[in-house]
Chains A and B, each alone.
Chain A
Amino acid sequence: MSLWYKLRPYVMTVPAITVFILFFIYPIFYMIYLSFTSWNLISPVKKFVGWGNYVELLSSREFQQVIANTITYTFLTVLLTLIIALVLALWLNRKGFIYSFAQGAIFSPYIISLVSVALLWLWIMDPQYGLLNWVLKIFGLSPCPWLTHTDTALISLVIVGVWKTVGYNTLVFIAGLQNIPRDLYEAAELDEAGRWKTFYKITLPMLSPTVFFLLVVNIIASFQVFDTVQIMTQGGPVNATNMLVFYIYQYGFDFFKIGYASAAGVFLLIIVGIMTVFHFIFLSKRVHYR
Chain B
Amino acid sequence: MKRLIQIFKILELAAVIAIILVFIFPFVWMLSTSLKSIPETLIFPPKWIPDNFMWENFVQAWSSGPFLRYFFNSVLVSISILLLQFLTMVPAAYAFARYNFRGKKFLFGITITALMIPPQITFLPVYLQMSAWGTLDSYVPLILPYAASAFGIFLLRQSFMQVPEEIIEAARLDYASEWQIMWKVLVPMARPVLVTFGLFSFIYHWNDYFWPLVMTNSDAFRTLPIGIAMLKDAEGGVAWNTVMAGNMILVLPILVVFFFAQRQIIKAFVYSGIK
B6 part of interface (Cβ distance < 8 Å): no
B129 part of interface (Cβ distance < 8 Å): yes
CB <8 Å contact, A276 and B251: no
Among B120, B128, B228, B274, the residue within 8 A (CB) of A245 is B120
CB <8 Å contact, A175 and B270: yes
Considering only CB atoms, which chain B residue lies closest to A231 in the complex?
B229
Q: Which residues on the A side are within 8 Å of B25 (C-beta)?
A: 131
CB <8 Å contact, B92 and A115: no
User: Interface stretch among B43-51, B65-73, B184-192?
Assistant: B43-51
Name 19 interchain pairs, CB-CB below 8 A, sorted by A: A16-B88, A16-B150, A20-B150, A24-B113, A25-B113, A31-B125, A98-B17, A99-B16, A108-B255, A111-B254, A115-B207, A120-B30, A122-B232, A134-B46, A167-B23, A213-B273, A213-B274, A224-B120, A227-B209
A253 part of interface (Cβ distance < 8 Å): yes
Q: Which residues on the B side are within 8 Å of A258 (C-beta)?
A: 124, 128
> How many A-B pairs fall under 8 Å by CB?
247
16 further A-B contacts with Cβ under 8 Å, apart from A17-B148, A98-B16, are: A13-B96, A21-B110, A25-B110, A31-B124, A111-B203, A111-B269, A113-B206, A115-B228, A120-B30, A121-B26, A123-B30, A129-B41, A129-B43, A129-B46, A230-B213, A272-B116
Interface size on B, as a range, is: 35 or more
> Chain B's nearest CB lies how many Å from the CB of A224?
4
Interfacial residues of chain B within 215-249, with CB under 8 A of chain A in the complex = 225-226, 228-229, 231-232, 240, 243-244, 247
A147 part of interface (Cβ distance < 8 Å): no
Interfacial residues of chain A within 1-49, with CB under 8 A of chain B in the complex = 6, 8-13, 15-28, 30-31, 34
Considering only CB atoms, which chain B residue lies closest to A232 in the complex?
B232
Q: Which residues on the A side are within 8 Å of B206 (C-beta)?
A: 113
CB <8 Å contact, A262 and B210: no
Chain A at the B interface: SS class: helix
Q: Which residues on the B side are within 8 Å of A104 (C-beta)?
A: 258, 262, 266
Question: If A15-B92, A248-B124 touch, does A106 touch B147 (CB 8 Å cutoff)?
Answer: no
CB <8 Å contact, B207 and A110: no
Q: Which residues on the B side are within 8 Å of A12 (C-beta)?
A: 91-92, 94-95
CB <8 Å contact, A88 and B19: yes
Among A9, A28, A98, A210, the residue within 8 A (CB) of B122 is A28
Q: How many residues of A contact B (CB 8 A)?
A: 91
Interfacial residues of chain A within 99-155, with CB under 8 A of chain B in the complex = 99, 101-116, 118-124, 126, 128-129, 131, 133-134, 137
- A114–B208 CA distance with the chains assembled, in angstroms: 8
CB <8 Å contact, A119 and B228: yes
User: Interface stretch among B52-60, B99-107, B165-173?
Assistant: B99-107
- A231–B20 CA distance with the chains assembled, in angstroms: 26
B10 part of interface (Cβ distance < 8 Å): no
> Chain B's nearest CB lies how many Å from the CB of A279?
8
- A133–B110 CA distance with the chains assembled, in angstroms: 50
- A28–B266 CA distance with the chains assembled, in angstroms: 34
Interface string of B13-39 (1 = CB under 8 A from A): 100110110011111011001000000
